[in-house]
Amino acid sequence: MKAFSPVLLNDRTLQAALSCFPRDRAMWIDSEEVESGGGATFDRYSPAHGAPGTRAPRGTAADADRAIAAARKAFDSGTWPKMTASERAGVLHKTADLIDRDRELPAHLDSLESGKPISQTRGEVAGAADIWRYAAALTRTLHGESYASLGSARIGLVLREPIAVVSIITPWNFPLRDCLTKPVCQRVFAMSLLATVRRSARR
């Protein structure tokens, strides 16, 4: 059997996508791009091509603590919990529009990072945008419940409220879809997503 040899990436579209998305990435903590507190990084290679995809900070426990504290601050005093359902829906719809507008970029990057065919990653991008629109519709349907079976002097109310900050683990084989769909389902319940696309959607 012939030994595997990395495929050189000469596709112009892919190269154009890479030029728009810096290979050296930073962590996103408290609405800012930051490096690892320890300064260490790691390289990620395409499993299909053997080509380097990204270089990212190797986070530390202190970095995780900073991220958790920032998420808690956003949860307690950020702008998202104070928004009305229509305002939240507007942000989610705009985010979906931005995903659609730039869909070739994340599709090519996802193909490089996960090694999947571009036809599959394009479908995942389109599906992710659709889920954001679905979540936008959900913002207008959230409601509580009332119970009048407790006697003439009592009424029972059930209100749905966010509990706390959550941590999301993303598998390597569906990075784009899960990074975009897991947080959006939580955002409906006043959770925060610290991502570049969110910053663009709020403008």
- Fold of domain 12-201: Aldehyde Dehydrogenase; Chain A, domain 1 (3.40.605)
As a whole number of angstroms, the distance between CA 43 and CA 47 comes to: 12
- Say which residues have a Cβ less than 8 Å from residue 79's Cβ, sequence separation at least 6: none
Instruction: Quote the pLDDT of residue 111.
Output: 80
Nearest to 92 by CA among 120, 126, 128: 128
What is the pTM assigned to this prediction? 0.70
Conformational region of residue 10, where left means phi above 0, alpha means psi within -120 to 50, and beta covers everything else: alpha
Q: What is the largest CA-CA distance in the chain?
A: 81
Give me 47's structure tokens: 């499993």
Closest CA to 193 of 202, 181, 183: 183
Question: Which pLDDT belongs to residue 93?
Answer: 93
State which residues of the chain have pLDDT below 70: 1-22, 49, 170-173, 175-177, 179-203
Domains of the chain by residue range: 12-201
- Each residue of 102-154: pLDDT tens digit? 888 778 777 877 778 888 888 888 888 888 898 899 888 877 788 888 888 88
In this prediction, residue 90 carries a pLDDT of 93
Identify whether the C-beta of residue 175 lies closer than 8 Å to the C-beta of residue 109: no
Integer Cα distance of 39 and 58 in angstroms: 8
Residue 147 and residue 156 in contact, taking contact as beta carbons nearer than 8 Å: yes
pLDDT at 189: 37
Q: Residue 62's pLDDT is what?
A: 92
Q: Which pLDDT does position 112 carry in this prediction? A: 77
